[in-house]
Structure 1
């Protein structure tokens, strides 16, 4: 993928501005980290060149001053919400984040369960964390939030929330995903700190939407697509426009909550140090785009990927189509069609030609390779073998894995393990390829090409098994699938 973002410049600029913001306040700063702190793969996809751990690198520079508070919504625990990029639920991701931060030498102070209204699953999760020695706090739902400011900024609003005990001057508030209640957690703490005589401040480390590029820029539209299930909408910041006469981009939840933030700051300082939601943010990403068209194209592809993911969820989970409709509207705004994802027509054409499931991959040089279903291999497994043959300049008719070697594996699957499908999955074909590499020089060459598949685009004519989906993720391949099952069964 063509680089469109200067990550080193971003690290330098962002770090400098965070330090400035820390120095702006007195006793304590609550710094909300929007997006993924540890592994922001969305940013790395739409801003090619952005390192997924950029935020973590900056935080490590402040490790002796900072502690981390992880926020998770009780509603997300209740519905087993899944991180689409990792394939794990938000509650499991909280455990992963705690371990990851701790391994890096960062201090995790506590976990906050927000939007709490007595959910049993949230109570179970709370007890699980506490049994591990992790402090857990509960923040409750507030009637009329965020519009009812007098109730919110009172003992019956934020005052009912548990006070989070913190030890360090910089409190980083993060979460497994958007909509978890990070900002509300920060504002609740400002209320409680004020009652305790502590002068605390708030700032926001947010990557998207990028405030100083156009509202309908593909990068900002891709953020809307990524949060379509939350009904987030990018908007012109009216407060910033009124205060400075400058057009900037923010999103609806920050704009809606701004009067609440203003009321809290006025109670603490007598005035609000911020004139707009945009002022609250520390976001230098827009200044580090070095190839706008590369970022635009990467963002267009992200929108299309999100579209297919939403379609698949409708089929798999029997959820409503509202998310699909919203992304379709974004596609119209960006003038996108599914054919603009080159692997889509290629996979569908191959499937039509063979009358069976097929797959297509776009390789780093733009070459399109396809894979078809055979008696020995599934389409995805065949695709991987064909792709590494192209990358390794191996003749197409060369057998990297002998059919004689595949047949015993099929017998094991069907006769001993009870599988209905004798064809090799992607993980199985890679294991077989690695075994053949010991005696077959072409197989060894093919195996060495796998790292070149990272960042490549794949589309399949049917939805895949979890095994194949996870294998593509581990290889760093960006996958989409048609929203249809391979077999028309009541139970998949």
Structure 2
């Protein structure tokens, strides 16, 4: 376990207290727009060491008697079969996944709302599917002039056309499978309908990044810019907060740009706006829970470097853009980031040069640097994984964890019967053979038991490794980057 920079328990306590205060501020009912990932916020856990990836959902569990969840999904995204890149599933399938996870955690899912609904066939099919599953569904429609035509938006022909979502709890968490799903518009629609019904209610926003009470160019906030380099998001000083209070805070451009319109909508709906700035709308307490600033700065710089290598790799793969790489180079310059901050980079490149073949290196949590080279039976990723397990188990290099009698038949099977060109084992295959060897080889069993110790290691490879290898390292908690080039000049890479 590496150094801790963030007090997770303090975060859970102070964050839930802040939300309770905001509910009370609005007379007992709050629509909370939840940005980012609820269950698996690995970005936050990487840049704030000590932050648990499921912290936000655990915080909601502390309030579960008050919580009702509304999931918003853009009907156009259903029609386009929009995918979650990290999970490889469509947004509509992710809605079902989210419902299952929320229910498993004892949280009440009240309904699903289809935003920007205009009778799309795929959206209708999804509505029918949800209704068959016993899930309440609502429709929200496109509004002409949204978000700038305030007079039309706040009218019976604007927000008034939308279905009113029946809710029964004091904290209505509005979440979604991804950005652009209409979470804010859903909250505004509910405020409009509640006001017409004489119900007191308010709106707040929960985004972890950028952290409002850290400096604009703090590495944690710069790491957020790196994470969103493919979007038009940039961090900026909140000018409204500075004017209202004389205090410098950080927000991001979209919230700052939309605030005057949002403020006018609040005034139109409720007579006056409860907020003087975009920062006022937030309920994020993460900045107050940093206990070691230097640890978080160092972790954030590493995250920026990984994002840079990922962008360069995606450019080679045809999935990225030059502009994204340029933005990341600027962020790196602002944060003082170079490849030299990660010892695994130089170690991997040196190993590749010495062996004349793809290689990898890993910095273990205790600081030791381990390398792995390509061989006739093992790819660089698989070799690095085995060498790291040996190091963690204090197993001498001379001892075999997996005998040739096991490795060679598996390699032969791949090329002879499974039509693979490459006989070398990937990380998933080497773990299976390690598990089999552990039945008769005590050293293999010892190595297998070291797998949890890999978490929070940093690995770098001299070439782009396979998707399967990346997935295995991710599951083991190893953070991976690659040089932006393939092992061969072939056009098709598996």
Instruction: State TM-score, norm by structure 2.
Output: 0.93
Query: 1:168-187 counterparts in 2 under 5 A?
Result: 168-187=169-188
The alpha-carbon deviation at position 92 of structure 1 amounts to 3.6
Q: Which moved more, 1:75-84 or 1:180-189?
A: 75-84
Distance, in Å, in 1 between the alignment partners of 2:356 and 2:11 is 49
Give the number of equivalent residue pairs. 491
Give the aligned partner of residue 441 of structure 2.
440
Alignment map for 1:405-424 (pairs within 5 Å): 405-424=406-425
Distance 1:42 1:89 in 2: 22
Change in CA separation of 1:62 and 1:418 when aligned onto 2, cut-off 3 Å: same
> Are the structure 2 counterparts of residues 326 and 88 from structure 1 closer, same or farther at C-alpha, using a change threshold of 3 Å?
farther
Deviation at 1:432, TM superposition (A): 0.9
Secondary structure of the equivalent of 2:165?
coil
* Structure 2 equivalent of residue 80 of structure 1: 82
In structure 2, the gaps of 5 or more residues are none
**Partner Cα distance (1:457, 1:316) in 2:** 23
2:357 aligned residue? 356
Residue of structure 1 in register with 2:492 after alignment = 491
The alpha carbon displacement at 1:11 in A equals 1.5
Aligned residue for 1:230, secondary structure, equals: coil
| CA–CA separation in structure 1 for the residues paired with 2:233 and 2:281 | 18
Q: Secondary structure at the match of 1:228?
A: coil
Residues 259 and 156 from structure 1, CA distance in 2 versus in 1: closer, same or farther, beyond 3 angstroms? farther
How far did residue 415 of structure 1 move? 1.8
CA, structure 1 residues 115+375, in 2 after alignment: closer, same or farther (shift >3 Å)?
A: farther
CA contact (8 A) 1:146 1:256 kept: no
Kindly report which structure 2 residues correspond to 1:244-283, keeping only aligned pairs within 5 A, or say none: 244-283=245-284
Distance change >3 Å, CA 134–CA 45, structure 1 → 2: same
Contact 1:30 1:171 (C-alpha < 8 Å) held by counterparts: yes
Deviation at 1:133, TM superposition (A): 3.1
Distance 1:248 1:421, change over 3 A: same
Against the structure 1 CA distance between its residues 157 and 271, is the aligned structure 2 distance closer, same or farther, given a 3 Å change threshold?
same
In 1, distance between residues paired with 2:387 and 2:28? 60
Match of 2:31 in 1: 30
Gap change, CA 1:462 and 1:18, over 3 Å in 2: same
Residue number in structure 2 paired with 1:208: 209
Residue 451 of structure 1 is matched in structure 2 by 452
| TM-superposed deviation, 1:257 | 2.2
Q: CA deviation at 1:317?
A: 4.3
Q: Which moved more, 1:262-271 or 1:435-444?
A: 262-271
User: 2:317 is paired with a residue of what secondary structure?
Assistant: helix
Contact 2:361 2:371 in 1 (8 A): yes
Distance 2:350 2:44 in 1: 32
SS in 2 for 1:229: coil
Please tell me whether the aligned partners of residues 31 and 205 of structure 1 are also in contact (alpha carbons under 8 angstroms).
yes
SS in 2 for 1:183: helix
Taking the TM superposition and a 5 Å limit, the aligned residue runs for 1:297-308 are 297-308=298-309
Q: Secondary structure at the match of 1:213?
A: coil
Contact map agreement 1:191 1:264 (CA 8 A) in 2: no
Give how far 1:250 is off: 0.9
Deviation larger for 60-69 or 129-138: 129-138
Q: Residues 178 and 227 of structure 1 are in contact (CA less than 8 Å); yes or no, is this contact kept in structure 2?
A: no
TM-score norm. by structure 1 comes to 0.93
111-120 or 359-368, larger mean C-alpha shift: 111-120
Equivalent residue number for residue 322 of structure 1: 323
- Assess if the C-alpha contact under 8 Å between 2:32 and 2:203 holds in 1: yes
Structure 1 residue 383 corresponds to structure 2 residue 377: no
Please identify runs of 4+ aligned residues in structure 1 that moved more than 6 A: none
Corresponding residue SS for 1:380: helix
Q: How much has 1:423 moved relative to structure 2?
A: 0.9
Correspondence 1:40-439 to 2 at 5 A: 40-74=41-75, 77=78, 78=80, 80-84=82-86, 86=87, 88-115=89-116, 122=123, 125-142=126-143, 144-439=145-440
Q: CA deviation at 1:196?
A: 3.3
Deviation at 1:58, TM superposition (A): 2.0
Matched residues in 2 for 1:20 and 1:50: separation?
A: 23
1:231 Cα deviation (Å)?
1.3
- Are the equivalent residues in 2 in contact too, given 1:343–1:361 (CA < 8 A)? yes
Q: Any unmatched runs of 5+ in structure 1?
A: none
Per-residue CA deviations over 1:258-278 (Å, capped at 9, x if unaligned) read 223322322343211111111
Partner Cα separation in structure 2 for residue 25 and residue 151 of structure 1: 25
The root-mean-square deviation of aligned C-alpha atoms, in Å, is 2.2
- Contact 2:66/2:170 (CA < 8 Å) preserved in 1? yes
The answer to whether the Cα contact below 8 Å between 1:116 and 1:138 also exists between their aligned partners in 2 is yes
1:175-217 deviation digits (Å, cap 9, x = unpaired):
2344433222212221232233322211122211111110110
CA distance 1:64–1:46, shift in 2 (3 Å): same
**Aligned-residue offset at 1:491:** 2.7
Paired residue secondary structure (2:230)? helix
Once the two structures are TM-superposed, the CA of residue 151 in structure 1 deviates from its matched residue by 3.5
